[in-house]
Copies of this chain bind each other. A is one copy, B any other.
Amino acid sequence: MFNSVDEVNKSSLVDKNVVVIDALRATSVIVTAVNNGAVVIPILEIEEALKHKDKGYLLGGERRGLKIEGFDLGNSPFEYKREIVEGRKIIFTTTNGTRAIYKAFDANNIYIASMLNGKATARKVVEENKDTVIICAGTYGRLSLDDFICAGKVIYEMNYLMECRLDDSSTAAYLAYRDYKDKILEYVKNAKHYKYLISIGCAEDIRYCFTEDIIDVVPCYRDGEIKAAP
């Protein structure tokens, strides 16, 4: 099952796997940071995040795509290199991605996915063999094409491992990925958020975020922290 964030009925997540996707860029950043040895603590509000300043945490995230005043790191995955984040706890707040994670709190397992770890996420979820809901963070609650095709990738990889029963929105995402998998950016360039990120100079970030399966780690949220799933 596949949902935009505003469609999520929290009670419908109990006992399920949730996969949260905000491909451009929050979940791509989280996957990169956790792969590089960080623990990520998602926080909704900037004020709340700033309370942790100078207490040994790194502060990361964005508003309108830009680094937040007083923060250590923005929302480019290239800022979350191993030499900067390894062994560190990162307080992380973004416009859409962290909100989507909070929406998933009633789920049994909350996994963080992107194109970077799409295949690894599919493997993890199929191993668990539970009903799975994909939450696309979107942009201000509305579906984003970049999340849609990333959801399609996770579903495609799941379905490759095991025949899945898909609802129609999952099938639509699956078909979009299947039909565009050799030319993903041609699809993604139609996304409003793609155009916005290009306008603020993030072309390199986009190229990186749509690189598939270069990370095997699947971050998992539990008790306030996102760490690599065992």
Contacts and interface: CB of A to CB of B under 8 A. Distances in A.
Interface of A: 4, 6-7, 138-139, 142-145, 148, 167-169, 171-172, 175-176, 179, 187, 190-193
A172 B4 CA distance: 13
In this complex, the member of A139, A190, A191 whose beta carbon has the largest number of chain B beta carbons within 10 angstroms is: A190
A130 to B, nearest CB: 19
A172 B176 contact: yes
In this complex, the member of A142, A191, A193 whose beta carbon has the largest number of chain B beta carbons within 10 angstroms is: A142
Query: Assembly of this chain: how many copies?
Result: 2
Nearest to A6: B7
B167 A190 contact: no
A143 to B, nearest CB: 4
A4 B202 CA distance: 32
Nearest to A141: B7
B167 A192 contact: yes
10 contacts: A7-B7, A139-B168, A143-B167, A143-B168, A144-B168, A167-B192, A171-B191, A172-B172, A175-B176, A175-B187
